[in-house]
Amino acid sequence: MERDDKKFSGGRKYRNDEITVYWKPSSCVHASYCYRELVEVFDPGRRPWIDMTGSTTDNIIDIVNLCPTDALSWKWNNDEKNAEISEDQLNHVKFRRPELMDTNEAAPQETPVSVKIMVDGPIVIKGNLTLSNNGTLKEVQESIISICRCGASDHQPHCDGQHRKIGFIG
Ligand code: SF4
Ligand code: FES
């Protein structure tokens, strides 16, 4: 299998014969689903940290679909298959990062707001909403934001992964 960790705007990409996995570090909230479930592929202690030879394509897709933000997303290398993708493939780029699709069908879908409290981590909010912070209002459109619960983030009100360094439990 081919490994490709060349940089592209907005992150890195990794390929095998069938799919490409996209990694956007700025969106990672260190919820750790990826490396807890499939360390053979997602190993933060290794460089490059994603090894597409570590498991089957089906396993990799299943784990990428668990990522609560758009830090990890994926698409088929065959564009015809991307056009037929179903909505249960949550982290397909069509739904998470439409700018990475080559076709014009990439318009983001209208989704209800969802709020998820991550164990020992941030609150992850998805959808269309207005974020009010100290009197400042910010429109969030079809996007994913993570709000700090531990109080240690240097980028309040957003999570920047500090909860892991301080061992936040909550
Ligand atoms: S946010 Fe996604 S990429 Fe980051 S650790 Fe969690 S599952 Fe992995
Ligand atoms: S919850 Fe992630 S930095 Fe506070």
Local mean pLDDT, 10-residue blocks, the chain (170 residues): 56 94 90 91 94 98 94 94 91 89 58 86 88 84 86 92 92
pTM for the predicted model, two decimal places: 0.76
Residue reference for tokens 């996209």: 22
Residue 136 domain boundaries? 114-166
pLDDT score recorded for residue 7? 56
* CA–CA separation, 150 and 130 (whole Å): 22
Considering the domain boundaries, does residue 109 fall inside one? no
Residue reference for tokens 């910010």: 138
Is the same domain home to 53 and 134?
A: no
How many whole angstroms from 115 Cα to the centroid of ligand 2?
A: 15
Is the same domain home to 93 and 44?
A: yes
Is the same domain home to 74 and 50?
A: yes
Considering the domain boundaries, does residue 108 fall inside one? no
pLDDT score recorded for residue 134? 84
Grouping H, G, I as helix, E, B as strand and the rest as coil, residue 42 is: strand
- Which residues have C-beta atoms less than 6 Å from ligand 2? 121-122, 148-150, 152-153, 159-163
Q: Please report which ligand is nearest the Cα atom of 90.
A: 1
pLDDT score recorded for residue 132? 87
Please name which of 149, 127, 145, 129 lies closest in space to residue 137, comparing C-alpha atoms.
Answer: 129
The protein residue with its alpha carbon nearest to ligand 1, atom 8, reads 34
Tokens of 27: 């969106």
In the chain, at which residue ranges do the beta strands (DSSP E only) sit? 7-8, 11-15, 19-23, 72-76, 114-117, 123-133, 136-147
pLDDT score recorded for residue 89? 95
